[in-house]
Structure 1
Amino acid sequence: MGRVSKEQAQENRRRIVGTASRLFREQGTDGVSVADLMKAAGLTHGGFYKHFDSKEALVDEATARAFDGAEEQRVASTGAHDGDPEAALREFVDDYLSPEHRDDMAGGCPTAGLAVDMARGAAGSAARYTYTEGVRAFARQMAGDDEADDGLARLSTMVGAVILARAVHGDPLSDALLAAARAEVSR
């Protein structure tokens, strides 16, 4: 089999990182093997190490990709309500605390989807640093106009509600958690 072009190699790497970003949020970093990841990306297992030195290196990059995507979504949500930041925030909160977001773990917020993995991971890892900075940025977005409001309470309520709602999915408590968090954050 011949060598792939530089452009194809870059596309393969993007595909691996994008697939990993989704699978890690859905199944956890320990729940996805390199072989399963490469199969899901439509590539061979042996090709992984042409792109990454280790699975940890991929976790670092996939975490960054997930947070970049989340930031783009938040910016787009805000831009849809030019001139009315309160309406943008209300819509964002409603979307975030929706059954659709709860049910889309792979495409959902990395703050909720990767929380347990980051808590169990190495404190000095690039992924943990990226996650921490992503949480900081998310909290800033959730902050109100009051300078004393840092957005941490809203963020904690929202992310906690999504994590808990996912954990009890299938029970009416799941929807009740989302509704209670929406009511609390919207006050």
Structure 2
Amino acid sequence: MRVTREKALENREQTIETAARLLRKHGFDGIGVADIMKAAGLTHGGFYRNFASKDELAVKASEHAIADTIALLKEGLAQQPEDPFRTLIERYVSSAHRDDLSSGCILPALAADAARREDPALRAIFTTAIQFYLEQIAQLSSMPPRSTDGRHPAAILSEMVGAVILSRVIAHAPLAESLMAAVVADIAGPLPANKSAEK
């Protein structure tokens, strides 16, 4: 039976969305096209009607992943307008982000993989993601009641990403939690007394 154009587009988006989850969880080389298509509920044969290669899918999936992350981040910041900088740091350097491999930021999940690939389109996506975070950090860290003592946004972002990566490989849960708490305090400062009491 011939697939309609609308259904073909729906299948393509379903494949991209599924790949965005699975590639973040398993890495670019940790899962094959057949498994991605199976998880999407589609046939392997349909893949090549939509994508020239797995590399093309990796690019589209990475675009989808960072767009999702940006949307979630903006939604979270809007809910905590009194100190959006701390909200950014606490949401990023958190056990929820650490544990949710399939829907977290692509930087701790896939940057090391992307660095091994000679794919300009893929690197451009990661560059866009990095630039977005740098702009957000620069903007939010300059808003009251913030003060980062002149720390460069690139240093802050590197500490955030590094904390998530390291916390994911630590076998001892209390150590992972203390590492993340130390990084949040280092970047955003200690919680005000009233906020500490609430927690």
- TM-score computed with the length of structure 2 as normaliser: 0.85
Q: Which position in structure 2 is the counterpart of 1:140? A: 135
Contact preservation (8 Å) 1:94, 1:182:
yes
CA distance in 2, matches of 1:179, 1:81: 19
Instruction: Name the residue aligned to 1:26.
Output: 25
User: Could you tell me how far 1:151 is from its partner in structure 2?
Assistant: 1.4
- Displacement of 1:79 in angstroms is 2.1
Q: Post-superposition shift, 1:185?
A: 1.2
d(CA) in 2 for partners of 1:181, 1:130: 26
**Equivalent-residue separation in structure 2 for 1:63 and 1:149 (angstroms):** 29
Question: Can you give the 5+ residue segments of structure 1 that lack an aligned partner in the other structure?
Answer: none
Cα offsets for 1:73-103 (capped at 9, x unmatched): 2221222244x4xx12212221211111100
Please list the CA deviations of residues 86-130 of structure 1 after superposition, one character each: whole Å capped at 9, or x if unmatched. Answer: x122122212111111000101111111111111111x4211111
1:125 aligns with 2:127: no
Query: Structure 1: how far apart are the matches of 2:171 and 2:28?
Result: 21
Mapped to 2, the partners of 1:164 and 1:157 lie a distance apart of 10
Equivalent in the alignment of 1:183? 185
Q: 2:27, 2:110 within 8 Å by CA — same for their partners in 1? A: yes
Residue 119 of structure 1 aligns with an amino acid whose one-letter code is A
* Number of the residue aligned with 2:9: 10
Show the counterpart of 1:46: 45
- CA RMSD after TM alignment: 1.6
For 1:33, the aligned partner's letter is: G
> Where do residues 27-106 of structure 1 align in structure 2 (5 Å cutoff)?
27-82=26-81, 84=82, 87-106=83-102
Structure label with greater radius of gyration: 2
Contact 1:93–1:182 (CA<8 Å) still a contact in 2? yes
Identity in percent: 40
**Mapping for residues 129-168 of structure 1, pairs under 5 Å:** 129-143=124-138, 144-145=141-142, 150-168=152-170
Which TM-score applies when normalising by structure 1? 0.90
Give the whole-Å Cα distance in 1 for the aligned partners of 2:73 and 2:10: 26
- Closer, same or farther: CA 7–177 of 1 in aligned 2, 3 Å: same
CA distance in 1 between partners of 2:62 and 2:133 (Å): 15
